[in-house]
Amino acid sequence: MDDTFNIQEYLANGVELIIKDALKATFKNPKESLFLLKFSKNAKKATEIRKRYEKNGQNIPVFLIASITSSCNLHCTGCYSRANNSCSDEIPSNQLSADEWENIFTQAKDIGISFIVLAGGEPMIRDDVIAKASEFSEILFPLFTNGTMLNDEYVKLFDENRNLVPIFSIEGDEEITDSRRGKGVYRQLVNSMEIMKKKNIIFGASLTFTKGNMSLLVSDEYINKLHDLGCKVVFFIEYVPLNKQTADMAPTDRERDMLFSEIDRLRSEYDDMLFMSFPGDEKTSGGCLAAGRGFFHINSHGGAEPCPASPFSDVNVKDTSLLEALDSNLFKSLRDEGILMDDHEGGCVLFEHEEDVARILNRVD
């Protein structure tokens, strides 16, 4: 453990702030507030579980990112998953079953993980897995979706299980969104948001910010549009380059500092909305939080990876427990060798150290 930075204290405090802000954002929604009060108690219990593991020398992250499918119904321009061949139109035969995901969720609950991001591909393709997730009220499941597969069954599921929080991926206005995601997708997203608002179901938006689009995404005009649609949670997701040629699109420290300043402003001006960034400020969090420091990723066939942006794995949760996966050679090497703490100019530290990650896995000499 770093003598000057306590990762558990940092993350525990962060969870408390998230819940506090979420309660403020849902103050006028009794159903959501009641769930969050119950979840707050469970989150405190989870913190105590993580602290017990920490005393035994094992760090348990607060977050798990679960790519429950590699299939998607859209072909978005610049999709990182498709560029990495980790997303396709077909449903692969080796993807984890709903029962296997249920086992992962159970293990996550038992070791103190409080948040599991459901991702893909398009996660709403896997209604069987999402139904399993709904049964774990101790865990909050933000569900990152393109918003095109919402139907009456899903609306009912979200209404009855408030631990499932749809997060709709949107690029900006109609022209920008449709140019990347396909004609008509923006209107489908807006329609999905209007259904959520009508049903009084909390939902969020996921905005990918680059060096060039941040001023639009943090503008009052755009945030007001989301607010009017009923959006309560906004995730600013840092752009990860597809390759070296697109690296100049990645935000640098300048843009990142600007974002944090704007998020502070938005939090003060929109007290009924919750604003978060991912991966967040690596300086204040003592470095990159991947590889189990603050989160890790399980892909659709069970590979435990440092992060969705670093699709490398040396263990599969079909063959091992989450605890053993967190102590894999890859994860331990990334944490112990200082790669996650390395200074870098914008983008993703693991993207910049891709050769080092591959070397650990003996993929290159």
Give the DSSP letter string of 96-126.
Answer: PPHHHHHHHHHHHHHHT--EEEEESS-GGG-
The H or E element containing residue 220 is: helix 220-228
Q: In what order do the strands lie in the sheet with 115-119?
A: 274-278, 233-238, 204-209, 164-169, 141-145, 115-119, 63-67, 295-298, 304-305
Q: What is the pLDDT along the chain (365 residues), one digit of tens a residue?
A: 444 566 667 667 777 878 888 888 887 888 888 898 999 999 999 999 999 999 998 989 999 999 999 987 766 665 656 556 666 667 777 899 999 999 999 999 999 999 999 998 899 999 999 999 999 999 999 999 999 999 999 999 999 999 999 999 988 888 878 787 889 999 999 999 999 999 999 999 999 887 778 888 999 999 999 999 999 999 998 877 666 666 677 777 788 888 889 988 998 999 889 888 877 656 666 678 888 988 999 999 999 999 888 888 999 999 999 999 999 999 999 888 878 876 655 556 776 777 888 788 875 44
How far is the C-alpha of 361 from the C-alpha of 350, rounded, in Å?
A: 14
> So where are the chain's domains?
7-350
What three-state secondary structure class fits 239?
Answer: coil
How far is the C-alpha of 41 from the C-alpha of 266, rounded, in Å?
A: 28
Distance of CA 1 to the CA centre of its chain: 25
Domain covering 7-350: architecture: Alpha-Beta Barrel (3.20)
